[in-house]
Amino acid sequence: MTTVGHLINGKIIEDAARVQDVYNPATGGSTTRVALASKETVEEAIASAQTAFPAWRNTPAIKRARIMFRFKELLEANADKICELIGQEHGKISHDAAGELQRGIENVEYACGVPELLKGEYSKNVGPNIDSWSEFQPLGVVAGITPFNFPAMVPMWMFPLAIACGNTFVLKPSERDPSSTLYIAQLLHEAGLPEGVLNVVNGDKEAVDILLTDERIKAVSFVGSTPIAEYIYATANANGKRCQALGGAKNHAIVMPDADIDNAVNQLLGAAFGSSGERCMALSVAVAVGDAAADELVAKMSEAMKPLKVGAYSDSSNDFGPVITRAHQQKVNGYIDSAENDGANVVVDGRNPAVSGYEDGFFVGATLIDQVTPTMQSYQEEIFGPVLQVVRVETMEQAMQLINDHEYGNGTCIFTRDGEAARYFSDHIQVGMVGINVPLPVPVAYHSFGGWKRSLFGDLHAYGPDGVRFYTKRKTITQRWPSSGVREGVSFAFPS
């Protein structure tokens, strides 16, 4: 059985002191192993990045951009290989993996514009013979800690832009599906990235804690669950690091009485069950305004869910694949059990689906639960599985209050034909990313991604313009070249 190692200073390193099995979620069997980095291995990666930083910092931005252009071409040329690796270890269906990769590539495209993005400001003659300007300088060695659910896309939210801005990078991907991330990093080196600029260490909490406490790391980006995001943010800040930590979600869609229910159903199918619901922007709660809208929504959703297929990544006719581990499968089923025990109505039951030829896979079928209330555990917590819950309210105000009261504020949307209602909703909802008849309002690469409340710890969102600000620090320079022969007197007043 092969072992997935680390990429340090441009070379694959095997630190075999500790290893962990990597599973194919569709079969339930172990496919490979991943090395879990020791303290010495993580420190070697940091040292490699620190050594590479001075030369990379001084590399012209246009040359850094050219490497990103070549990297983009290699990602597209090797897309099938990357998607296969995602499918084998994550379980994501091939068309879904391709979509994930494309969104990652779009962030590389944004990073290709870094010469323009790093332009500062310049003002001539702010005073007699005095000019002033600002510039954006890289931080140094920065780190990224990424989740299992998007092994290609989320790392590319981070390292392409950070590196294009002149930083060097240490990436700690998820140990559950490490192969695609490592392969992508190798492609960047093939594109011409100098050794040491990007290093990948696979590992667990031991590796994470080193990245959070080592004084050579200047900033940390994280995507994962809220409890871990809170820990990452607090620990990084306590050690003097800049940090952005994106956490969990409980995303609601309001379905108004005037909504196009057929369109809402089609949109909710993909938004709730795509990627097996294992994405922080998944729509997991439909808030129906009025019983008439709720009854129609539940009836049409349950009918539309009948042909949905759950299965292995290699069959593109499947709609979504397994969840990531046996333990997570049991956790998702437990939430369905909990909702049922609390009095909710499981309209479509996805527990223990029969998937021919993959009886040992970690599958959960599409599940629809009606009559859910805000007091239920299944409503309050993030399920992170293919489960859509329906909550019934009488008014739009009640629906918005429900969303605003929740501890998470990542994404939300409203289905309506009423422009006034949509405008009021977008103005007053306390959520970071809002859709109007768009169930997955994930910003494109030249905007920035991030939620509110306990869905984001830190002041700056991920990628886009906020990403540039996060991975750089502003320096303002004021200079004067007095005319020759002019002697100025002393002044103790504040300059103006």
Catalytic residues, which ones?
A: 280
CA-CA distance, 43 to 46, in Å (whole number)?
A: 5
CA atoms within 13 A on the CB side of 215: 0
Going along 51-200, which residue ranges are E strands?
Answer: 121-127, 130-138, 141-145, 168-172, 198-200
**The amino acid at 303:** E
Which residues contact residue 327 at a Cβ distance below 8 angstroms, ignoring those fewer than 6 apart? none
CB atoms within 10 A of CB 432: 23
Residues 6+ apart with CB under 8 A from 111: 65, 68, 160, 161, 163, 164
Using the Cα atoms of residue 197, residue 201, residue 205 and residue 210 in order, give the sign of their dihedral. Answer: negative
> How far apart (Å, rounded) are the C-alpha atoms in residues 197 and 374?
48
- Distance between CA atoms of residues 57 and 111, nearest Å: 15
Query: What's the CA gap between 320 and 365, in Å, rounded?
Result: 9
Whole-Å CA distances, 460 to 168, 263, 464: 20, 34, 10
